Amino acid sequence: MLDLGILKIYNASAGSGKTSFLIKNYLYIILTNNNPLIYKNILVLTFNKKSSDDIKNNILECIKNFSEKNIMNKYRLFFDYIINKSNLTKDELYKRSYKVLKKIIYDFHTYTNSICTIDKFTYRIIRSFSPNISLEMNTNKFLSKIIENILYKLKNYEVSNKNYYNFFIDVIKSGKIWDLNKDFYKIAFLMINENYYPYINKLKKLSSKDFINLKYILIKRIDQFEEICKKQGNKFFKFIEKNNIEKKSFLYSDIPNFFKKFYMKNILFNPFKNRIEKNIKNKNFFSKEKKKNNIFIKKINSLYEETKYLYNKYISCYTIDKLILNNINLFSIIHDLNKEFLSIKNEEKIILNEEMNQILYKKINKSLPKIYENIGSQYKYYLIDEFQDISIIQWKNIEFLIENSLSENGAAIIVGDPKQSIYRWRGGDYKKLIELIYYKNSVYKKELKFLDTNFRSCIEIIKFNNLFYSFISNKFDCPIYKNIYKNSEQKVYHKNYMGYVELNFIKSIKINKENYRKYICKNIIKKLKDLLKQKYLLSDIAILVRTNEEGNFLSEMLIKKGINVNTSIFFLIKNCNEIKIIINFFYILSYNSFCKERIYLIFLLVDNNKINIPKKYIHNYIYKIIFLPTDLFIIELSKKIRKKNLFTLNKLYNKSIYDISENIINFFDLLNKKNKPYIYSFLDFVYKYTIKIGNSIIDFLKHWEYEKDKENIVIDNNLKKSINIMTIHKSKGLQFPVVIIPFTDWNIFFNNEKIKWINIDPNLYNGLNYFYLEIKSYYKHFNNKKINKIYKQTLSNALFDNINLLYVATTRSIKQLIIFSKLGNKKYSISYYLKNFLCNHGIWNYKKNQYFFGKKNNNTI
């Protein structure tokens, strides 16, 4: 039963029936209330469209069942719950269901609007005060347009170039290769990322001149400290030169090397190593002949301590100065980018999907939109799913609606699981859920409950996960992370079904990436044959991968072996080699000086057996033709194809892009049985482009760069006869009888949160309170407490994120969980934790490749 005026927080582990729980509470509200229109007063917020659609459809189907007195088995629990928790008779429940169903069908728009994603809810509010604004979903295309405009203006001297030229000079001095597009895109992306909204908002207000002034302040301070260090190093070398002390007189080279670092200004990394500290303390740094000379010892000891004092006094500020200076030029262009950003948005009357929460947050802080008053008076009950994925700004945008509801004797239910927080990179912040769970609130009462029964998986899968994640909890330094997993044990619901878990380790540490993947694929095919013998269907099986690249590899390999695959995200037409040949040809036709594309085209044609050049002669061949005019380059290339007619530019004049594509396909024999879907999909893409936009190859290539990551082929496989391949992120919320995780050995810091904003003293940094920091692995060597703390925190967050990712993957299976992992001793690899888990339980045996728990039976749950 609902407790009015109380925020109910449910910590719900995987398989605990979060969606069913929300549906049950929704049904209880609408069917125990005398008002059949009460559904208008309930707002259900989810984080993806599939989830909101599932909830809507299940509620509607359930009410229809009740109204027809025909209770399906999957809704029997809901029916019994309402009867047991209320004073209603069965007939009364049937009648109420019929009345509510009629009202919902009559006003279906209101019903669907009240069960939606949080993004849709936010957009609806924004449209209420900006009705002419449309939503732009293709962020990459929009950002690319901004960068393109900035580069055009830069080229044509329409913007102040001083910043840009300073940027070029600094990059050249540092010896780096600067990619304008890449670095501009990085800043543009930071501008729209809501994680960085409070920080970037301040930077956007600064002019280019402000950044130039800050840059000069930093350079001056850095130079001053480096001169102090050089002076200390110089003192040492003058002293040993004056006293005829040779370097070989020192017991170790530590002392001379230490002062050499200072003389060379190489002091960013901590120079105070344990051995040198120990030797200085024990006055043990001279060999025998100089060992008794106390004057020398005292002098060097004194110089060392003086150097150490000066270093410790200034090094914190110096470190941060250096890190900020590395990015100062990049941020100095933010003002121009922001102007272009606003100009295009205003011109096209759009907002980006990523900035919706920021727009609403800014609006609320200025003056509360009238629609909020309407929402506050309309909704009395709030049900929020997957709360661990909410961002800080999203919560602030809806928090006071919930506070208002609770103050007026409404109700709110929040359901989430910190262990399934895998969207930190997208703004999701589990900390808000943790805060609600563990910290008191003075505004409203709250109550924490646990949904800790697993209704999904069989005994051995639950048992394995309980033991493994309890073991993992001890690997966290952060007490919050430790407690989350320490208290994650689940109860078993299906007590009559054993289940099966299998861990497979590949021991060869010398095997390369490609061969390793092929080996895994070969083992998966064997496993699939075994599963089919156990009477599983291919559709019962899901292969979960971490990246699209892994999924694409497995999909293509399995299809080559005649196995149907059910996936839409991996068959991108850009991955087809024949499409790569066509695109590179387009680049060569459009840009005479693009040597890289010419070289790539030659290798593509050779690797795909389209031209015959022995590999030992390929470099000589490239050198011979690479710098020829375009028409001669194409003729020379076509000579390597044994055909009567040559491929010439004359054949392509006045042709459409579609015709040029067909000519390339026909001449180079690119079409075959395996790539038909890719080629036809590409030609369809080209045809639609020429009809809608035009016939410029250069413009087409720009359009292709915008859209290539979305264009995929459609394979009409029978889903019942197809295996599922998807990323772990896509699998969240789903379940399958059998789950295979093929590459369970990723580095836990591979895809970690790398960006931090550090607080700085505005008196030292021209009024700035925060600045951007991109975490690098070498930061652990800095002698700076603040940076060290941030680095450790980043590693801790990365471990938590990746263990969460593994948790989501290992909790999708109902009957069988099969894991493949490359065995290694790298501490930060997922396989390291799997191995250590087995060691901890006394199971590990280096001679064994496979470990299994339970039985491979196919009993029906």
| Residue pLDDT, tens place only, 743-772 | 998 888 755 557 788 899 999 998 888 888
**Position 38 pLDDT exceeds 60:** yes
pLDDT over 70 for what percent of the chain? 91
How does residue 166 score in pLDDT terms, banded at 50, 70 and 90? low
pLDDT tens-place string over residues 188-244: 888 888 888 888 888 888 887 888 889 899 999 999 999 999 999 999 999 888 888
* Residue in the block written with tokens 């509010």: 125
Structure tokens at 432: 């808000």
Mark 690-709 as b/e (b = at least 16 C-beta within 10 Å).
Answer: eeeeebebeebbebbeeeee
708-728 average pLDDT score: 74
Would the pLDDT of 641 be above 80? no
By C-alpha distance, which of 13, 16, 33, 193 is closest to 103?
33
Is there a shared CATH topology between the 6-131+371-451 domain and the 500-569+718-745+810-854 domain? Answer: yes
Percentage, residues of the chain above pLDDT 90: 35
User: Looking at residue 858, what is its pLDDT?
Assistant: 64
How far apart CA 575 and CA 368 sit, in angstroms, is 48
What is the pLDDT, as a whole number, of residue 802? 92
Which two structure tokens, joined as six digits, stand for 466? 């309980």
Q: Within 591-737, where are the H helices?
A: 595-607, 618-625, 630-639, 657-667, 676-692, 697-707, 728-731
| 3-class DSSP assignment, residue 401 | helix
Q: How far is the first Cα of the chain from the last one, in angstroms, to the nearest whole number? A: 29
DSSP string, 535-562: T--GGGEEEEESSHHHHHHHHHHHHHTT
**Rounded CA gap, 414 and 387, in Å?**
6
Local structure of residue 453 (DSSP, 8 states): E
Q: Which residues pair with 821 in a beta bridge?
A: 505
pLDDT at 559 over 60: yes
Q: Which residue has the higher pLDDT, 459 or 790?
A: 459
In the CATH scheme, what is the code of domain 500-569+718-745+810-854?
Answer: 3.40.50.300
Confidence of residue 413 (pLDDT cuts 50, 70, 90): very high
Higher pLDDT: 507 or 112? It is 112
pLDDT tens for each residue of 257-314: 889 999 999 998 888 877 888 877 777 777 665 555 678 788 888 999 999 999 999 9
Span 376-395, average pLDDT = 90
The DSSP code sequence of 463-479 is HHHHHHHHHHHTT-SSH
CB 197 within 8 Å of CB 393: yes
Fold of 6-131+371-451: Rossmann fold (3.40.50)
- Residue 556: is its pLDDT beyond 90? no
**Can you give the C-alpha Rg of the chain in angstroms?**
32
* pLDDT value for 162: 58
428 and 421 in contact (C-beta within 8 Å)?
yes
Q: Are 800 and 833 in contact (CB under 8 A)?
A: no
Distance CA 215, CA 439 (A): 42
As a whole number, the mean pLDDT across the chain is: 85
The pLDDT, as a whole number, for residue 472 is 95
Strands (E) across 289-349 are located at none
Sequence-distant (6+) residues with CB within 8 A of 503 are 819, 821, 834, 838, 850, 851, 852
Give DSSP secondary structure letters for 503-529: EEEE--SS--HHHHHHHHHHHHHHHHH
Q: Looking at the predicted structure, is the pLDDT value of residue 393 above 80? A: yes
Of the ranges 250-264, 452-466, 562-576, 596-610, the best mean pLDDT one? 452-466
* Cα(556)–Cα(563) distance, integer angstroms: 10
pLDDT of residue 415: 93
Q: Where along the chain do its domains lie?
A: 6-131+371-451, 134-348, 500-569+718-745+810-854, 573-707
User: 842 versus 648: which is more confidently predicted?
Assistant: 842
Q: How confident is the model at residue 699 (pLDDT cuts 50, 70, 90)?
A: confident
What is residue 135's predicted lDDT score, i.e. its pLDDT? 86
E-only strand ranges, 717-802: 723-727, 736-741, 755-759, 770-774
What is the band of 705 on the pLDDT scale with cuts at 50, 70, 90? confident
Q: Per-residue pLDDT tens for 133-144?
A: 888 877 887 888
Tens digit of each residue's pLDDT (9 = 90 or more) over 649-681: 777 777 888 888 988 888 888 888 778 888 888
Question: pLDDT tens, 498-555?
Answer: 999 999 998 765 567 778 888 999 999 999 999 999 999 999 999 999 988 898 889 8
* Rounded mean pLDDT, 26-40: 95
Structure tokens at 567: 């996936």
Is residue 597 very low, low, confident or very high in pLDDT (cuts 50, 70, 90)?
confident
